[in-house]
Structures are given as C-alpha cells and as structure tokens.
Amino acid sequence: MSFDTKNIRNIILLGHPGCGKTTLAETMLFEGKGTSRRGNISDKSTTSDYTNIEQERGNSIFSTLLNVKWKNSKINIIDTPGYDDFVGEIISSIKVADTSVMLLNAKDGVEVGTELIWEYVDKFKTPNIFVVNHCDNEKADYDSTLEQAINRFGNKVIPFQYPLNQGIGFNTIVDALRMIVYHFPDGGGKPEKQPIPESEMERAKAMHNALVEAAAENDEGLMEKYFEAGTLTEEELTKGLKIALANQDILPVFCCSAERNMGSGRIMGFLNDIGPSPDERAPVELEDGSTLASDSSDRTSVFIFKTLTEPQVGKVTYFKVYSGSLKAGDDLVNATNQGSERFNQIFVANGKTRSAVDVLHAGDIGVTVKLKNTNFNETLNSKGVDRKIKPIEFPNPRIRTAVNPPSKAEMEKLIKALNQIQAEDPTFKVEQNATLKQTILHGQGQLQLDIIKYRVEKVNNVSMEFIKPKISYRETITKHAKDHYRHKKQSGGSGQFGEVHLTIEPWFEGMPPPEGLKPRSEEVEELPWGGKLVFLWCIIGGSIDAKFSNAIKKGIMTKMEEGPLTGSHCQNIRVCVYDGKMHPVDSNDMAFMLASTHVFKSAFNQAAPQLLEPIYDLEILCSGDVMGDVMSDLQTRRAIIQGMDSDGHYQKIKAKVPLAELYQYSSTLRSITQGRAKFSQDFAEFNPVPHDLQKSLISEYQNTLQEA
Ligand SMILES: Nc1nc2c(ncn2[C@@H]2O[C@H](COP(=O)(O)OP(=O)(O)OP(=O)(O)O)[C@@H](O)[C@H]2O)c(=O)[nH]1
Ligand SMILES: [Mg+2]
C-alpha cells in the first residue's frame, strides 16, 4: 500500500535513556494494529529492540524504523537509543524526521539526555512535541516536569494535557485541546470520553485559552478572529496549530503511560491532524546551496541515512525519498560515484520485519537490500538529475582505546570486522597508528566500544581485548647547547669520515638570529607531526662542503622522528651547523649523516630536554547535585579548571586535562554521576609533562630499548 506525501508523518522518538521510547513505539504499533501482541522490555519482546544485544541489555542501541497506519496517515516511527554513545544513530534519524517526540520521565523531568538531544532538534529545526511519560509512577510529578521544560525550553512549551490522577492509580487524562477527559480501562487501550469535571474546569479552560492564543498568534487573520469571537473554530485552531508547530513556535506537551498503554492513541491522532507532512517542512538543503521541495511529481531523489549488514542478507540500506516516487525495479544514479543502482525490491519496515511495497512517494521512508556501491549520506537520483542532499555532520570521537593485537591471522579478521562497523557507524573510527604501533579505536563512549567488542566477538568470532592506548608525546628542549662529534671508521679499503659542530636551541616564532654566527642559508621544515625544525647553515671557510648539508639535516631528522628521550617526535628546535671537518677521500653523505644524528642526540640531552603531552579541552555538562563529585574526580586527573557556568538546572564545567588522564573517562563519569553528566573533548595543545612523570616515562623507554 502506498501513501501520498500529504498522508505521511515521519516521527522520531527521542529522550534520555529509559524514558520509555521503545515502550511507547510498541504501544503505538499495537494501537494502530501494526502488531497483534503488545511486547515489552522485560519480556525482551518489543518490535523495536529486536537485536540480541538490545534485549540482553534492556536498552536500545540502534535506531529502528517502524510504521503504523493511523486514520488516513501512515506514521513512520523511528525509535532511537537514549545513550549519547549512540548519537550517530540519533542524528542521522533526526535528519529524515518531520516531527520529534521528546519523551520526559514524569519522575525525573528534564534530564541531561534531554538537553543533549535537544541540541540536534534545535539544529535541524524539527517541529517537536513533548510527551511526559511514566505518569503511572508513584513519584510522577507532571507539574514539576512541565515547569522544568518551560524553564529550559521557554514559553513555547504549552501543555495540551495533564494527568488527572498521576501515580500508581493513573488512568485519566484531561485534554485541554479537545476539552474532554480520557478515562482508560484497566490494561489501557481505547479510552472512554468523559466531560471535564467541574473541579478541573478552571484549570482546563485556562490551558485551552493559552493554546488557542498560541495557535492564533502566528496568523493575523486568526488573531483578529480570536479577539472578535474570543475563540476559534476547530478548523481555525487546526490551521493555527499546524503553522505554529511546523515553525517550532509552539512545543505542545502531552502525557501518557506507555507501559500501561494509556495516551498513545491521542498522540498519534494529534500527529495525524496537526503534525506536518513532509511537504509542509522547509525544503531540504542541497550541497550546492539550492533546496529541494518534497514533491512526488518531480524527478526522483533519495537520500541514504543509514546502512547495516545482516548476516543472511548482506547490506541493508535505509533511505528517504525526498522527491518524486521510487518504484521497485527503478534504476537510480549515485550522485557521489555516478554508479547506477537498481532498487530491485523496496520495503517498509517494522523492526526486523520487512514488507515489500511497489512504490514509495516523496517524503516516505523505506528500506532496500543489495545495493552495490552506495553508502550512508549519499544521494541517488533519476538518470539525468544531479542533486546532492547536504550530508549529515557527525560529532568527532570523544574517547579512544587500543586493541591488544591477537595473532596475525586473527588480526586480519579483526580489522576487516572493525572496518565494516566503521562503514556503518560514522561516529566510530579505526586508526592504524604507525608511530605508536597500535590499532586505536575512536568512539563516542565506552558503551559504544563495548557493544562493538560484543558484535565483533559474537558475529565475527574474533576475540578483541582493549588495552590502554599509548600517548603520542612530543620532545623538545628548553635551553641552548653546543656539541660536536667525529664519525671515523677505517676498515681495510675506503673509510668514513665526518665531523659536525652544532648548536641547538628552542625555536619560537620571531626569535633573533644566532649570536656570533652568520647563517648562509636557512631551511624551515614544517614537521608532519606539528612544530618546526629550523636548520641554519653557518659554515664559513668551507670546513664542511655545502653539498653535505642535506645529509646532515637528514641525520638530524632521523632523531627528530624518533626522539632521544622516549622515541617520540621532536619539535620546535633550531640547529646551527657552524663548523666541522672533511676528509678528501673518506667523507661522504653517510658519514655526515651518522655524525649529525649522534651530535644532535648528545646536544639534545644537554639542552634541558622536555617531554610534552597532549592536553584536551574537556567540557562537561552535569546536573547540579553531582557537580562536587565531577570536580573532585577532575582533581585526580591533573585537570586545570577553566570555568564553570550554570545554565539553570545544569552546570557546565570547562577544563584542560592531559589525554593520559582521560582513559575510560566516559565510564567513570557515567558511574560517578549515575548517568547525569555528559562530556566532549577536543585536542587543545601540547604542554610540558611534570618532572616525575617525565622521569618515569624516560626510564620506561630506556628499559624497552635494553630489552629489544
Ligand atoms: N511504569 C512505567 N514504566 C515504563 C513506562 N514506559 C516505559 N517503562 C519502563 O521503563 C523501562 C525503560 O523503557 P524503554 O521503553 O526501554 O525506554 P527507552 O527510552 O526506549 O530507553 P533506551 O532505549 O535505553 O533509551 C522499561 O522497563 C519499561 O518497561 C511507563 O510509562 N510507566
Ligand atoms: Mg529504547
């Protein structure tokens, strides 16, 4: 069955872990007869959390596409994970959704997860409704949750409903839009409609007036009508609310108990009546700066927002039809690689169950299998159309860990598996670090990496052990030093001879020329790992022929690449070669290279060498009550606090922290704050390593040299 653009609603369920997204999705499916049995989390039987790992953990890890028919609409539902380890899954799905449904837990109100995910709702300007779930919890506090939402998200937050009897006995909702009470039978489902009791009339009326006013505000005609008549007809109200919701000028609040199946039908009804269809959203931006409206009479363009691999099937590709219609059997051209792809079969999905359809119209979301050469973030068009939908930007990785290399054969299997995961998960990166000689994994959080480990071990049958990643230190000097060295070798036939005298000093921008020396040439090497080597040729009187200067510089670079202290890269050093000796027969490039490597090393060691370590800018968002714990933990990590900011309910801490102290920070932070904090990190600079640490790192390196 196919649906016209006007009858499609694409919604995304969002919210802090455990707020009830998957349960609400299940309830919506059940109410819309998309499933005959309502599954739940404790039985591991929901349609959305269908993978073993999700069922084992009781959390969503992947975003899942579902669909349900409600009245004349087809509602595509994307259920997302709450943990921000899986932010990639969330972001790619927000891109294709037309309304977000942000769940709040009536017991906990606005949580850190709500805050973080809101950033993306805001960025994509997605129309949003709030749903206060868990109204049946004994500690449910709808009013406080609403107040927190208003404090955080402003006066656009307008309640459309409230629970009449929140807590364990919850079964009644007052609906201020329809001015009616929904009373649910035991076990939930279809409610009985009842008049609002007199005792609630005043509150309900005030709410109703507020939402009517908000609906009228965006349209002059409606505003006039409202002032004249003091109210709006249902049709006018619908029109006003549609405009306000689509423009993010109103953030309606609903309430429910997903677990008891009380309230989900009304939410779907609202989405059907008021939620924007894809063509009521702003046109999508294209890479060339133009835009594309959702119009099924146009030529076809589809955008890939997610891919995954299923053992029996191979590649599974999720897409949204942004314009035109896509029919099974259509050939489209990939705008990135110009390859042609046949969509042999197209499906709609309910979790792992896929049903083949003949056609999907503009705005609809579907699935296909066996595309040959198409990845996420790519656009495919009808032949002759050249459109590239602006790709989704993903956040940089926040944590890193190294992999203990297994046997060579196993390692090949492991890398293949990791590369495949990387191809599906834009927030995960595998790096073969040649300098550190380690395979390093970069991700969003420990939980994400643990899940990757689980997948690799269970699906690919390779064991993977995480170890602490090495740190990419740098070496430099802090003083001036002077030394010389003669390399001389006489063995039978031709010998080797080269003698080099040089000074070394810390290089900095704008430093004066060397005292007492006359540079004949200056070479500035921009080092691939950052920083510089400035090489001055100050030979007078021809004690070393200029033709050897390259070999001498090369000898120095060898040591710069593998520094004298710990084998790390050296940086920001100025070298002046000012004297030396040649032999008319025995001098050659090799002899001068060896001499310069040697003299550079010994001069370096006399120049008060300093190890530098990478420092990261850390930004933590946490709730006020765990701030003390976060701060005292930071104190154990050599952190330098840069600032603290309070954003009403939340605290933002900025600090500079050495990377060496951030290993497994995401798990520690989660455990000391019970999940009520999030962080991001970005490389800031290299700073000197404290004296004691430098000493132990040097002796560690010297030991490995002796062992080798
Ligand atoms: N009492 C009650 N429990 C609920 C309600 N909604 C969800 N739950 C329970 O809360 C737990 C978490 O629900 P989920 O649906 O998995 O929450 P989620 O938002 O999908 O969580 P993540 O996928 O981890 O982000 C489960 O044990 C549910 O049974 C509700 O309205 N009332
Ligand atoms: Mg879930």
Give tens-digit pLDDT for 49-87. 999 999 999 999 999 999 999 999 999 999 999 998 999
Q: Is residue 668, in this structure, part of any structural domain at all?
A: yes
CB-based burial label for 216 (10 Å; 0-12, 13-18, 19+): buried
Residue 286 pairs in a beta bridge with 389
Ligand 1: centre distance to CA 559 (Å) = 58
Query: Which range among 122-126, 221-225, 325-329 shows the weakest confidence by mean pLDDT?
Result: 221-225
- The C-alpha atoms of residue 480 and residue 413 are separated, in whole angstroms, by 50
Report whether residue 45 contacts ligand 1, using a CB cutoff of 6 Å.
no
The proportion of the chain whose per-residue pLDDT surpasses 70, expressed as a percent, equals 99
Q: Is residue 393, in this structure, part of any structural domain at all?
A: no
Nearest ligand, CA 117: 1
Residue from 389, 361, 386 nearest 297 by CA = 361
- The C-alpha atoms of residue 21 and residue 30 are separated, in whole angstroms, by 14
Ligand 2: centre distance to CA 77 (Å) = 12
Residue 297 and residue 224 share a domain: no
| Helix, strand, or coil (residue 252) | strand
Question: 470 pLDDT exceeds 70?
Answer: yes
Residue numbers of the domain that contains 545: 475-607
Choose the residue to mutate in 13, 16, 22, 66 for probing ligand 1, maximizing ligand atoms within 8 Å of C-beta.
22
Residue 135 and residue 248 share a domain: yes
Residue 222 and residue 83 share a domain: yes
Q: Is residue 388, in this structure, part of any structural domain at all?
A: no
Residue 434 sits in a domain whose CATH number is 3.30.70.870
CA 407 to chain centroid, in Å, comes to 32
Residue 645 and residue 549 share a domain: no
Residue 568 and residue 485 share a domain: yes
Give the atom of ligand 1 at the shortest distance from the alpha carbon of 258: 31
Give the atom of ligand 1 at the shortest distance from the alpha carbon of 134: 31
pLDDT band at residue 664 under the 50/70/90 scheme: confident
Across residues 690-702, what is the average pLDDT? Answer: 95
Choose the residue to mutate in 90, 100, 259, 267 for probing ligand 1, maximizing ligand atoms within 8 Å of C-beta.
259
Ligand 2: centre distance to CA 52 (Å) = 14
Across residues 95-108, what is the average pLDDT? Answer: 98
Handedness of CA 323, 77, 99, 87 (dihedral sign): negative
Q: What's residue 648's pLDDT?
A: 64
| Helix, strand, or coil (residue 645) | strand
Residue 657 sits in a domain whose CATH number is 3.30.70.240
Report whether residue 60 contacts ligand 1, using a CB cutoff of 6 Å.
yes
Q: Is residue 389, in this structure, part of any structural domain at all?
A: no
At 535-587, the pLDDT tens digits run 999 998 889 999 999 999 999 999 999 999 999 999 999 999 999 999 988 99
Q: What's residue 227's pLDDT?
A: 85
Question: 708 pLDDT exceeds 80?
Answer: no
Q: Is residue 708, in this structure, part of any structural domain at all?
A: no
CB 429 within 8 A of CB 486: no
Across residues 656-678, what is the average pLDDT? Answer: 91
CA 440 to chain centroid, in Å, comes to 18
Give the atom of ligand 1 at the shortest distance from the alpha carbon of 135: 31
Ion ligand 2 residues within 5 Å by Cβ: 21-22, 60
Across residues 407-424, what is the average pLDDT? Answer: 91
At 268-319, the pLDDT tens digits run 999 999 999 999 999 999 999 999 999 999 999 999 999 998 888 999 999 9
- The C-alpha atoms of residue 338 and residue 562 are separated, in whole angstroms, by 44
Give the atom of ligand 1 at the shortest distance from the alpha carbon of 15: 19
Residue 306 and residue 215 share a domain: no
Residue 497 and residue 404 share a domain: no
CB 615 within 8 A of CB 687: yes
Residue from 454, 441, 384 nearest 415 by CA = 441
Question: 1 pLDDT exceeds 80?
Answer: no
Residue 615 and residue 601 share a domain: no
Listed in sequence order, the residues at least 6 apart from 393 whose beta carbon sits closer than 8 Å to its beta carbon are none
Ligand 1: centre distance to CA 320 (Å) = 28
Report whether residue 257 contacts ligand 1, using a CB cutoff of 6 Å.
yes
Q: Is residue 103, in this structure, part of any structural domain at all?
A: yes
Q: What's residue 27's pLDDT?
A: 97
Report whether residue 134 contacts ligand 1, using a CB cutoff of 6 Å.
yes
Q: Which tops the pLDDT comparison, 28 or 35?
A: 28
Report whether residue 141 contacts ligand 1, using a CB cutoff of 6 Å.
no
Listed in sequence order, the residues at least 6 apart from 236 whose beta carbon sits closer than 8 Å to its beta carbon are 215, 222, 225
Nearest ligand, CA 86: 1
Ligand 2: centre distance to CA 133 (Å) = 13
Q: Is residue 391, in this structure, part of any structural domain at all?
A: no
Place of tokens 């090369």: 554
CB 348 within 8 A of CB 357: yes
Q: Is residue 386, in this structure, part of any structural domain at all?
A: no
3-state secondary structure 351-414: CCEEEEECEEECCCEEEEECCCCCCCCCEEECCCCCCCECCCCCCCCCEEEEECCCCHHHHHHH
Choose the residue to mutate in 16, 21, 23, 103 for probing ligand 1, maximizing ligand atoms within 8 Å of C-beta.
23
Q: What's residue 135's pLDDT?
A: 98
Q: What's residue 382's pLDDT?
A: 97
Across residues 422-440, what is the average pLDDT? Answer: 92
Query: Which range among 354-363, 533-542, 666-675 shows the weakest confidence by mean pLDDT?
Result: 666-675
Q: pTM of the full predicted structure?
A: 0.87
Q: What's residue 533's pLDDT?
A: 97
Across residues 678-701, what is the average pLDDT? Answer: 94
Residue 275 and residue 403 share a domain: no
pLDDT band at residue 226 under the 50/70/90 scheme: confident
Ligand 2: centre distance to CA 79 (Å) = 7
Domain end marker among 411, 443, 467? 467
At 474-494, the pLDDT tens digits run 999 999 999 999 999 877 677
Query: Which range among 126-140, 271-285, 636-650 shows the weakest confidence by mean pLDDT?
Result: 636-650
Q: How many domains does one find in the chain? A: 5
The proportion of the chain whose per-residue pLDDT surpasses 90, expressed as a percent, equals 84
Domain end marker among 230, 249, 280? 280
